Amino acid sequence: MYKVFVNDVPIILSTDKVIDHRYLSLPIKGVKIKQLIKQIEKGELSHLHLYHKKEHKLLKHLKRKLKPIVAGGGKVFNQHGEILFIYRNKKWDLPKGKIEKGETIEDTAIREVEEETLVEGLQIVKPLDLTYHVMKRKGKYRLKITHWFEMYTEYDGKLIPQRQEGITKVKWKNKKKAIKALQKSYANIKLLFTEDYFTPSVDK
């Protein structure tokens, strides 16, 4: 199963013909995806499910309908267990950006975090889940596929937002502040945090 977000509304992709009575379920092969996206943007459709009997065909068909943009990004921790956030378009986000020719996706993720925050000494710890969302580029809908990596750095220097990319703040946030920031973030970013992250700690 995949979740492809239009703003914060997920389009569910799965191999099941029916998942929930609230969802409009359609075969992915024949749908006019751009019309459905417009309906979601207008608030006319909030529960959409697209299916195909073969799981590997789900993204294949979607990519045919929406030209993909591949990006890399980082969920960066420091030595204090804080997470690096950026603030852009009135939302808290994690640093990420489009892959450039000749780069590996790991190189992209590190470069984008460095460029957007000026953090140095980044090390990739492990890959995280991919996220999918629909965006508009030059008037056309595109499928943005972001490869995320957990990273670590002991950098304790100044954080400088990449203002030419619309970033106005860069902050290290502890768990309490991160949870608060995620309330003003994107649904696909929240997927990178496990449910137990949001569970209050209980002192024994």
pLDDT profile of the chain (204 residues), mean per 10: 96 95 95 96 97 96 97 97 96 98 97 98 97 94 98 97 97 96 96 76 43
Within this chain, do residues 86 and 11 fall inside the same structural domain, yes or no?
Answer: no
Residue 7's CB is within 10 A of a number of other CB atoms, namely: 13
Question: Which residue shows structure tokens 């995620």?
Answer: 182
Asked which of 15, 41, 65 is the last residue of a domain, the reply is: 65
Q: Tell me the per-residue pLDDT of 90-149, one tens digit each, with 9 for 90 and over.
A: 999 999 999 999 999 999 999 999 999 999 999 999 999 999 999 998 899 999 999 999
- For 9, the domain range is 2-65
Identify whether 203 is part of a domain. Answer: no
Within this chain, do residues 52 and 98 fall inside the same structural domain, yes or no?
Answer: no
Total domains in the fold of the chain: 2
**Could you tell me the pTM of the whole model?**
0.91
Identify whether 133 is part of a domain. Answer: yes
Within this chain, do residues 40 and 75 fall inside the same structural domain, yes or no?
Answer: no
Going by C-alpha positions, the residue among 100, 105, 86 that lies closest to residue 147 is 105
Within this chain, do residues 127 and 108 fall inside the same structural domain, yes or no?
Answer: yes
* Cα–Cα distances in angstroms (integers) from residue 109 to residues 11, 22, 68, in the given order: 25, 37, 17
Within this chain, do residues 60 and 76 fall inside the same structural domain, yes or no?
Answer: no
Contact yes or no for 80/174 (Cβ under 8 A): yes
Within this chain, do residues 158 and 77 fall inside the same structural domain, yes or no?
Answer: yes
Which helix or strand (DSSP H or E) is residue 88 part of?
strand 83-88
